[in-house]
Structure formats: structure tokens, C-alpha cells
Amino acid sequence: MTLSWQTILAIGVGGFFGAIARAYSVHMTNKFIPLEFPLGVLVVNVLGSFIIGILFATFAHYTVGDSTKAFLTTGFLGALTTYSTFAIESFFLLQTSLVLGIANMLLNVLGTVLAAASGYKLLSFFVK
């Protein structure tokens, strides 16, 4: 992928929309399912990982431009998912509950890898 001005713009615009989607999704998840557990961040991380799996399977079967790939993956999904928030929430959970802290870490790490693999395999199954 070349880092042209079009690609940089695509990443920025994708990041704008991804950040808004993350804020809205986390807020709505936590509003409707209020827990002492950071479910909103888990939801966006797993959902974003599932979507990136689908996208990479798509890219393996179809030609997609660099700017479109950058918009969707680095831009939108990069801003939608959030490792730093996952890290600090895990740290705070560990201080109050070892079980919740470890559960959060396991669900995020294993859940996102399984979601990415599932998205990739699902699309690859339908597109041959």
C-alpha cells in the first residue's frame, strides 16, 4: 500500500467515522446493559475483529483499491476498536476484582482472535 495523499485522507475519514461509531456503541451498550464490566469495549473489539476478518477474506478474493482498504481497516476499524481502553480498564478491574480483570483480558484477547478467524472463514466459505 502506498501512502499517497488519497490514502492518508481515506484513513483520516475512516478514523473519524470509526471513532464516532465506537463512542456511540460503547455508550449505548453500557447504557442498556449497565455492568461493572466494560462490556461496551469488549463488544466493539470483538465486532471490529469479526469485520476485519470478513474484509481480509474479501480482499483475498476481490481486487480492492488501497484507499478503500485503508479507509475500512486502518481508518474505520482502527478507530472503532480500542486496545488502550481495553488495557486501562483491565488494569482497573484487576485492582478491584482479579476474576473480572482476568475475564476481561481473556474475553478480549481470545474473543477478538476467534471473531477475526470466524469472519475470515465465514466469508471464505461463501466466496470461492
- b or e along 15-52 (b: 16 or more beta carbons within 10 Å of the residue's beta carbon)? beebbebbeebbeebbeeeeeebbbbbbbbbbbbbbbb
SS3 labels along 101-124: HHHHHHHHHHHHHHHHHHHHHHHH
Asked if 104 and 38 touch (Cβ cutoff 8 Å), the reply is: yes
Q: Write down the pLDDT at residue 93.
A: 96
Q: What is the pTM of this model?
A: 0.89
The Cα 1–Cα 42 span in angstroms is 30
Per-residue pLDDT of the chain (128 residues; tens, 9 = 90+): 678 999 999 999 999 999 999 999 999 999 999 998 999 999 999 999 999 999 999 999 999 999 999 999 999 999 999 898 999 999 999 999 999 999 999 999 999 999 999 999 999 999 87
